[in-house]
């Protein structure tokens, strides 16, 4: 969950950076980051919730969590580009910023544990 918090901070920074271009661009960047933020929060709660389980059940929870993550991300992006007609470049920048921040947070945590 700490990685998700770092991802939220990175999404906020990307959205503030696009605020100079306009409010729609900032909203698009925030929507892109929120797509992965919501997806990662869902994946973490599904994959890590439930305590100790047999390997097959734990692996199934991991797969369901990852599938749910990308399903949420795709739905949010489709809504942002479709009905809301937000600009695509800031949306992709928000997605990329959120994804990179999440991966960086996971790698930093693993480096500290070694």
pLDDT, tens digit, for every residue of 23-53?
999 999 999 999 999 999 999 899 988 888 8
DSSP secondary structure, the chain, as one string: -HHHHHHHHHHHHHHHHHTTT-HHHHHHHHHHHHHHHHHHHHHHHHHHTT-S--HHHHHHHHHHHHHHHHHHHHHHHHHHHTTS---HHHHHHHHHHHHHHHHHHHHHHHHHH-
pLDDT band of 2, cuts 50, 70, 90? confident
Q: What is the pLDDT of residue 113?
A: 66
pLDDT, tens digit, 9 for 90 and up, residues 48-107: 888 888 999 999 999 999 999 999 999 999 999 999 999 999 999 999 999 999 899 888
Sequence ranges of the domains in the chain? 2-113
pLDDT category at 108 given cuts 50, 70, 90 is: confident
Could you tell me if 31 and 91 are in contact, meaning their C-beta atoms sit under 8 angstroms apart?
yes
Residue 81, classified by CB atoms within 10 Å of its CB into exposed (0-12), middle (13-18) or buried (19+), is middle
């Amino acid at each position: 969950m700490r990685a998700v918090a770092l991802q939220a901070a990175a999404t906020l920074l990307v959205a503030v950076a696009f605020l100079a271009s306009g409010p729609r661009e900032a909203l698009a960047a925030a929507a892109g980051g929120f797509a992965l933020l919501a997806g990662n929060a869902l994946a973490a709660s599904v994959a890590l919730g439930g305590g100790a389980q047999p390997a097959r059940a734990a692996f199934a929870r991991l797969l369901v969590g990852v599938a749910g993550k990308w399903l949420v991300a795709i739905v949010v992006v489709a809504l942002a580009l479709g009905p809301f007609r937000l600009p695509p470049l800031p949306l992709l920048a928000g997605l990329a910023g959120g994804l990179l921040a999440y991966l960086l947070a996971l790698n930093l945590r693993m480096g500290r544990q070694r």
